[in-house]
Structure 1
Amino acid sequence: MKRSMPPLAALCLALCSTLPACASQAANAPSDLSEAVRKLRYPTAIYVLRDDGDSAAATGMADADAGRPLGVDTPLRIASNTKTFTAATVLRLWEQGRIDLDAPIVELIAPEFDRLLRSDGYDPGRITVRQLLSHSAGLFDHGSDPRFAQRFLADPARVWKPIELVALMTEFADPQSAPGAEFRYSDDGYILLGHIVERITGQTLAAAVREQLGFTRLGLTDSWWEIMEVPPVDARPRARQWLGDHDVTDVNASIDLYGGGGLLMSARDMARFFKALFEGRVFARAETLREMLRPGPHKGSDQYRLGIFVDHIGGRDVYWHSGFWGTYALYDPATRAAAAGVTTNQAGYGDLVSIVRAKVPMR
């Protein structure tokens, strides 16, 4: 069973050591889930939402210095889990007739992006919106190159612009495959999608995502786009986040902000959104979700659709996404169960996923 996360994770793990475990807490949790979470070494929170109720378990501290325990309502950076929200926003624009998924991006991106891509051998006249959504445009992923981790850790206060991140893609490597040929995960494709959303809507990406996906209507009260938005009035303070013994809370959010990442969100809000998305409360038409989940013709489309991973378990599909800092969300259509988990230390990601997969979605 595939339990992967965006490629940058593996690069940074080599830089990390470990943190001591913290105190534990649990609420409304089945005893097996509560016990499994209680034993974890790193602060972790898991929230499960089913038709017949919910359950929650958490252990450790969101901020040890401030004495704040981690809970399922604690927001933190969800990194690439943001891609599902970006993709869903593009699909909302598609169902409104404002974007063609199969149109080349050449008419949708600013001239400076067009020039940059062409300078490295990419042809925006052949790359489509759908290929960006499905990671089949042939783009390299700047985040998977160790030089990027070295740069942002060496200068954590630097503010990165979207075009500067895409420029790293062109600096680090050439095109990886022909457009539409195969799945190759790339943050840069989602930076381009965020840019396209802003150009089409005339709004910031944060405002467009919030409006199109109905954050207020869905009750996502502990969710906002870092830097781009003011936190909701009643939002809890965010958790501190770690790469082993490196406190990366104050690394400038612009390293992962523009569509491939950027959202601060709690485990509860992630699960709420996933359940709403897959049960018809985000899109206006049922065919939009079918479009999101339809496999493409390219190699590797069995593992990633439009902004969402898919695994085949017990003869059925289960949909999920993960985030670099140690976040994970999943929906099982067979049981109508949504689950999300977060850890404040990336080193705890593997244990987090194991618990969600083993104890949460299947009955």
Structure 2
Amino acid sequence: YQGPQLWEVADTGILFEWDDVINADPVWKANLGKNYGIGGTLDRHGNTVALSYDIFYIGMWGYRNVLEEMGRSEADVKALKTMDELADFAQQLKAEGYPKWFVSTGFLGGYMIRELFWVFVYQQSYPDDIMKKAEFMEGGVKFTDKEFINAGKAVQAMARMTREDVLSLDYQTDHYSLMVKQDTWGSLYDGPWATAVLVDNPDAINNVFGFFHPPVVEGARGDVWAADAGQILAMEKDNPHKEEIIEFMKFIHSPECTKFFIEQLTHPAGKFPDNWRDLVEHDIYFELVEMYEKSIISPWIVYTGEIETALIDNLTLVFTGDLTPEKAMANVQKATEDHWASQ
């Protein structure tokens, strides 16, 4: 999986670097498109040491039929301009006696919260990658800067739009069960596999629609997604079956193979076949692919394990209401300074 683990493995020197063989094959490189070099596949020096076979991204989606039952519409949701407005919308529905907004954030503790936090920061700083600067203490950027505090406030907003029992729910069973049963008017879209879960549930998949995260503050970008390599494959550089594995990876990224991903409503890392639209039966897939293609991709990998842990721990406490964003970010900044002082 991507993240600090990949860097740690790459640092041992055992992984094959893919750049030369990819650049030597124009068809393969074209099949990878903008997914070549995507975050989560690179070592700390920028070399490609892994390849993705699907794409992971986080958006939001709602259910038209459930909203209509509550006297609301898809247009009402898409018109909301900030995370606070979305939280207020959820609270209003609760006040009227309807279920609160349901998101998968919280099911994995701070893991999903951290990924969205990065998006909220990048909405404000694009195209400047201040997340990485804060992590590596570059350019005077600190986690206590206003962009990070604002992102922490968006985490608070997520807590206001979430069921009270979200932290006790099981990510795999409860999350997808609620999505299939539509026991919610909206949820976090946490990757292509979420769409695949609904393939065999026509009532759910025909009523779902996708939309971008509302900006963390008014004026920030609303078309930013956390997107990265989903599942990644790597190879030891001295693997005796190197040539066969290279051919297999070329196949994974070919239109011949990606059609199988598309039929299951999963976003492949390779080139879509020319007739891919003929393979799709549900409008939500077209909508999500279009959103992905038009979106700004946020860098969200945290490369330093100790700093990732500090972020997850402190953002979880913001989500539960046990820390203010200001205090949480001060804690993360101190953890960052302590980490680099120890190196």
Fold agreement, TM-score > 0.5: no
**Highest RCO, 1 vs 2 (Cα 8 Å, sep ≥ 6):** 2
Q: Which is richer in helix?
A: 2
Q: Which is richer in strand?
A: 1
TM-score by length of 2: 0.30
- Answer with 1 or 2: which has the greater Rg: 2
